Structure 1
């Protein structure tokens, strides 16, 4: 029962003031001059005023509200080290049991660090979780908070916490833990392919150790060097970026005896490889309608440096024109094909025929160039099937098909072969899905016999139109028609000549995205996505090794011709190793080198300032080598009382309550009020009448 008195005036307050103030003034004057009956007049005025103010006696029935206790449990990845998870579970169960004994506490358990979002798993954000748990609770009802964590919390407020109640932290882990880790200090985001890239790194030991340590350096999963580093010092590192696109540079140090974990003994840097401009040599045998198609396409590509020669005056041409009157540039045969041939990434012979412009010996140099890793494209015309064909030179060892001498002048729609539907050069060409294809016709096909390599497009009478082959370390392509310019001119709607020509050129120059057999993996959020590019019908499953060494297997499903993909939800942040057949790939899930794995040694120091500012405490659950946790007792406390002791923690109780019912009794109403009022008035009149 809660008794109180309230006033419910019969008139408005301004009206009451207008009535009672003059009467009070008269009563006051009577008292000042000690007039007869002044006290009775004052009593009558008081009775009249009470009657108008209408005092009411209230009896409130209230239920006490519970104080809210937030228990924040750290489920971040560092809590899986050693027996921290077991300590956490034991502490949580014991704390729930102790809090359940007190009916005045409403316990809210919130877990942090196990969200499916990668960005929420890279840092231990316990204070954000705490604020979310108490967002709907008035400050007067907050009893306090208890955090079960290893102490590595990354959102500790710099100043005073918003929590106006005791904050207690129960620290998992052991005293005297030691750990070593390696990190990059300077890691550029971009690097030139094939060029050295300067980086720096540092090895850190939490126990203050010094001395040398071996550091294994790997690029895209392949070990490239073993460096000798000194603990605590910034060390230089120089690596060569092997491929365009994403490259993973990894540093790893061996695990030391007694070290807490080796999860942070590796660190990575993602470096995007950028190719220097590709150098292409285009040699046109004679002017023709489609000569400028290749030139214009290659000149429009900002990543290509083009050197183009057209043989306008072959050696056998004799017209009597003096040499000093010719404005033509002599073909620099020796400079291009001996001195600088290895500087070119691709050589294109566009309708070129052997007319003694190149000495026969030079074809040997071109063949050797291809065998050693160069790229050659033959854009063939009728001359390839004639007597002056380059197939009758030493270059024949590098060619994927010998001419039959046939030139088929017949209209046809270029089509993809079954193999071409899966090959990355021709797969998904715009318009290829239609039958006939949604592009214009060509009118010439050059016949070849027993083509080697992969026939990915076919021409008239299903004869080979585009052949791709590997020779030694290099690659050769052969386009058996000179009619591609019809697509460029928009004949019958044109066709995807830019797509086709560019893909051919970049496949020959070993663009990774155009490899027939390729395995890639990527992390999106906490999902690992695997993509297998293959010419086979079934690449099988993919095998995955997680950062902690666990093995997973996922099935790859066909998503389009030549592409198989699969994905799996993962719960670890770090570097994943993926294998499918003979191919391997690396993928990093989550942000690179997240703070969660920077320092994993349990500590009391990070939370101590925030806890002590609220009157709370920070203590370890297990200080010795045993596995048992020592949990403090829970004591309800009043506001402003001490909130922690040697073996106990205090949680504040609230005085807040909720109103259920109100009983009201008017004190100056009914016959009692009327009688008191008449008695006061009558006494005043009686005294005044004497």
Structure 2
């Protein structure tokens, strides 16, 4: 029960002042002049004043409020090292049991570091979680905070300003931990394919600097080189970017005996490979309606350097025109097909026929260029079936099909074959899903026999229209019609010539996304997405290996033709390896080189400044008889400046309470007030009457 006195005046305080002020002056004057009965008059005036201000005795019934204790549990991935997780579990359980004994404390347990999103796992953000759980608690009711953590907290405030209640940190882990780690210091995000890329890295050891360690460098999962690094020193690294698109550069150092964890013995950098301008040689055998279609398409691509020649004047054409009157550029055959042929990424023969412009020996060079990894595209017209066909040259060894002498001229809709529906070059072409396809007809196709490779499009009478084949290390494509320009001109609505021609060109130049057999994996949040591209009917299951070494099977289900996909929720941040058949790939889940794994040694130093500033403590959990040894919990006053001792930690109690009811007892009302007032006035007149 709480007692207090309040006033409930009969008039406003202003009116009371006007009434009582003159009387008070008269009483003061009477006292100064020593008039008889002045004291009695003063008592009567006081009784009148009390009656007017109406004093009230209040009896309040209150319930005390509990102080709120925040128990913050570090559930980050670094807590899985050694026996930290078990130590944390035991400590939290014991703390909860002890705190339940105190009626003055309300315990709120908050777990941090295991959020659903990947960015919530990259750093241990305990203070952010603490702020969230105490957002609805006034500072006067905060008893304090107990953190059970390994001490590697990444959102620790610079000082204790504005922090409510003492902070006590209980540190998991051992005193004598040792760890060695590697990290990238400078890792560019982009690199030119086929050219050296300069990077730097550093190897750190908790035991100190000095000494050397062997560093293995992997590029896209394959060992690229082995280097010797000086511990503690920034080391240079030069790699060659192998592919366009995403490349994974990984550093690995050996695991020491007794080392705390091997998680940070790896460092990963993601490098996007960018191709320099692709060099394409386009040779048109003669002017025709489709010649400019190829030229315009290739010139419109800023990443393509195009060299285009059209054979306007073959050697057999002798009309007597003086050479100095011909505005023609001599065809530099030797320079292009002997000296600089390896500089080209793609050679296109557009309706080209053998007319002694190229010496026969040069066709051998072109075939050898394909065998050694080059790319050749044949856009054939009627000349391919004639006597001057390039199939009658030494280039025959590289061709995926030979002409049978037939040229069919009839209207037909180009269609995707069953293989073409799966092949990444032609899969999903706009208009291919309907029957007939939603694109215009063509009117000429060259017949071939014994086609090799993949027939991805067909024409009239199911004749092969587009062939894609491999020769040695290189690739060759063959278009058996010269009427693709009808799509470009919009005849009967046109067709997807831009997408088709570009895909053909990029497949020939070994664009990874267009490989027939390809396995890719991508981390999106805490989900691993796996895509298998294949020409087979089934893809089976993929085997996923987590950073910790745990393996799991991921079923791959069919989606689009030739594509199989699988997803899996994961709970580790790091580099995952995925295998399917003979293919394997790497994927990184979460931010690269996250702070959570940069330094995993448990420490008391990070939280010590804040704990000391709040009057709290930081101490390491120790194994004792029967389990973890914890300090005693002691309630302390709200204004206590120190809340920790050698074997105890204090939590503040609050003076806050909740008002349940109020009883009012007027002190100068009823017969008591009337009697006191009459007594005072009567005594005054009694004195005056004597």
User: Does the TM-score normalized on the shorter chain lie above 0.5?
Assistant: yes
Find the aligned partners of 1:514 and 1:183 in 2 and give their Cα distance. Answer: 33
Moved more, 146-155 or 18-27: 18-27
2:631 is equivalent to residue 632 of structure 1: yes
1:370 equivalent in structure 2: 370
Which residue number in structure 1 is paired with residue 31 of structure 2?
A: 31
Structure 1 residues 563-607: Cα deviation after superposition (integer angstroms, max 9, x where no partner): 111111111111111111111111111111111101100000111
Moved more, 560-569 or 226-235: 560-569
Bigger drift between 14-23 and 504-513 goes to 14-23
- What displacement does 1:411 show? 0.8
The within-5 A match list for 1:454-465 is 454-465=454-465
Aligned to 1:220: 220
The residue number in structure 2 matching 1:74 is 74
User: Does the alignment pair 1:595 with 2:584?
Assistant: no
Q: What is the 5 A alignment of 1:205-244?
A: 205-244=205-244
* TM-score, scaled relative to structure 1: 0.98
Deviation by residue 1:192-225 (Cα, 9 ceiling, x = unmatched): 1010111111100011152110000000000111
The question of 1:41 aligning with 2:46 is answered no
Residue in 1 that maps onto 2:298 = 298
8 A Cα contact 2:411 2:443, kept in partner: yes
Residue 668 (structure 2) pairs with residue 677 (structure 1):
no
Following superposition of structure 1 onto structure 2, how do residues 139-150 of structure 1 map, counting pairs within 5 Å? 139-150=139-150
Describe the superposition over 1:658-687 as per-residue Cα deviations: whole angstroms up to 9, x where unpaired.
011111111111111112122222222333
Q: CA deviation at 1:161?
A: 4.3
Q: 2:306, 2:501 → 1: CA distance?
A: 15
What RMSD over aligned residues (CA atoms) do the two structures have, in Å? 1.2
Asked whether the 8 Å contact 1:244–1:273 carries over to 2, the reply is: yes
Question: Displacement of 1:149 after TM fit?
Answer: 0.3
Instruction: Tell me the alpha carbon deviations over residues 297-346 of structure 1, each in whole angstroms, 9 at most, x when there is no partner.
Output: 00000111000000000000010112232221111111000000010000
Q: Unaligned 5+ residue runs, structure 2?
A: none
Partner of 1:555 in structure 2? 555
Name whichever of 593-602 and 318-327 sits farther off.
318-327
CA contact (8 A) 2:160 2:611 kept: no
- 1:56 and 2:56 equivalent? yes
Asked whether the equivalents of residues 521 and 528 of structure 2 are also in contact (C-alpha less than 8 Å), the reply is yes
Structure 1, 556-565 or 344-353: larger mean CA deviation: 556-565
Q: Which residue of 1 aligns with 2:264?
A: 264
Cα offsets for 1:177-196 (capped at 9, x unmatched):
11100011111111110101
What is the CA–CA distance in structure 2 between the aligned matches of 1:395 and 1:161, rounded to whole Å? Answer: 81
Equivalent in the alignment of 1:531: 531
8 Å Cα contact 2:118/2:526 also seen in 1 = yes
Higher deviation after alignment, 427-436 or 636-645: 636-645
Measure how far apart 1:689 and its partner are: 4.3
The match for 2:190 is 190
Q: Report the secondary structure of 1:254's partner residue.
A: coil
Q: Which residue of 2 aligns with 1:251?
A: 251
Distance 1:627 1:44, change over 3 A: closer
Q: Distance in 1 between matches of 2:535 and 2:41?
A: 113
Cα-to-partner distance string for 1:622-677 (whole Å, 9 max, x where unaligned): 279x9942111111111233311111111111111101111111111111111212
Distance 2:623 2:90 in 1: 15
Is residue 61–residue 662 contact of structure 1 (8 Å, CA) maintained in 2? yes
Q: Distance in 2 between matches of 1:136 and 1:60?
A: 26
Task: Report the TM-score, using the length of structure 2 for normalisation.
Answer: 0.98
User: Using the alignment, how far apart are the partners of 1:492 and 1:688 within structure 2?
Assistant: 128
For 1:439 and 1:376, locate their aligned partners in 2 and report how far apart those are by CA, in whole Å: 27
Once residues 556 and 161 of structure 2 are traced to their aligned partners in structure 1, the CA distance between those partners, rounded to angstroms, is: 49
- Note if contact 2:144-2:165 (Cα within 8 Å) is conserved in structure 1: yes
Show the counterpart of 1:126: 126
Q: Deviations over 1:366-420 (max 9, x none)?
A: 0000011000000011111111111111111111111111111111111111111
* Alpha-carbon distance in 2 for matches of 1:350, 1:115: 58
User: Are residues 627 and 411 of structure 1, via their aligned partners in 2, closer, same or farther at CA, if it must alter by over 3 Å?
Assistant: farther
Q: Is the 8 A contact 1:284 1:351 kept in 2?
A: yes
Distance 1:376 1:190, change over 3 A: same
Q: Residue by residue, what CA displacement relative to the aligned partner does 1:122-158 show, whole Å, maximum 9, x if unpaired? A: 1111111111111110111100000000000111101
1:408 paired residue number:
408
Once the two structures are superposed, the pairs formed by residues 376-455 of structure 1 within 5 Å of their partners are 376-455=376-455
Q: Tell me, what secondary structure is at the counterpart of 2:628? A: coil
The answer for unaligned runs of 5 or more in structure 1 is: none
2:356 aligned residue: 356
Do the aligned residues in 2 keep the contact of 1:27 with 1:42 (CA within 8 Å)?
Answer: yes
Residue 508 and residue 552 in structure 1: after superposition, are their counterparts in 2 closer, same or farther (change >3 A)? same
SS at match of 1:420: helix
CA distance in 2, matches of 1:142, 1:392: 92
- Deviation per CA, 1:508-548: give whole Å up to 9, x if none: 00011111111111111111111111111210111111111
Aligned-partner SS, 2:403: strand
- For residues 597 and 256 of structure 1, what CA distance do their matches in structure 2 show? 17
